[in-house]
Every structure is written in structure tokens, then in C-alpha cells.
Structure 1
Amino acid sequence: MKRLLEFLGLLAVVQGVAGLVHEFTDWNWGVVQRLGLLDGYEVYASVALLVLGGALFAAAESRKSG
């Protein structure tokens, strides 16, 4: 379970960073800008993904190894 939480945390952080990079540099990658329901809220969604990733890493650290 710890590995799954770490993987999901890494995925959330990568997508959050991708969303912010897209907003500030116009690179077209990541999932945040592809969701039509988030139009106008891409920066907020990216920051939320970064926070979610941090929370998932913290949850993974609180679990026992194995």
C-alpha cells in the first residue's frame, strides 16, 4: 500500500508541475489543461494536485514498510 501511495503522490506532483509549466510556458503536456471542466481554473487545479501529492507522500510515510 505504501508503494501505491507513493506512486499516486508522484503522479499527482508531476501533473501539478505539468499544469503550472503549461500555464507559464505554453508547453502542451499534462492532463490539467485537457479537462474542459477546469477552464479558467488550471492554476488552482495544478496547485491542488501539488498539495494532494504532498498529502499522499505524507500518508505513505506514516504507513509501515511492506
Structure 2
Amino acid sequence: LIGSYKYFVAYYANIKKDNATAIAYCDKILSLDPTDAEAIRYKDILSKPAAPRRPAAATKPANKATK
């Protein structure tokens, strides 16, 4: 059962981008095994706000060599 819940944590966090549901599955894991290190770590990661994305670096046009 815990293995299935871990699958759902990954699915909702990575595919659906639904951290609230992923955290709910972490809570289900922790209700069965309060010492599960992975569930504790996942919940900690998912509970933190996402780091702001840095803007993409500006690209320079390629220099064309003339002969």
C-alpha cells in the first residue's frame, strides 16, 4: 500500500503538478508509517514554495565568417 501511495506522490507532484494532492498522499503514508524517511523528505520538499525561475540567458546571434 505504501509503495502505491509513493507512486501517487510522484504522479501528482511531477505529472499533474498538484502538490496539495501529493502532500495528501504523503500524509497517508505517514499515517501508516510515521518514520518513513522518503515520505518525510517528499512532504518537506513539496511543502516549500517553489524557487523563482531565473530568466533565460540572452543569446547572441551567430557570427558568420566572410571570405
Q: TM-score range by the shorter chain?
A: 0.3 to 0.5
Larger Rg: 2
TM-score for the superposition, normalised by structure 2: 0.43
| TM-score where L is the length of structure 1 | 0.43
More relative contact order, 1 or 2 (CA 8 Å, 6+ apart): 1
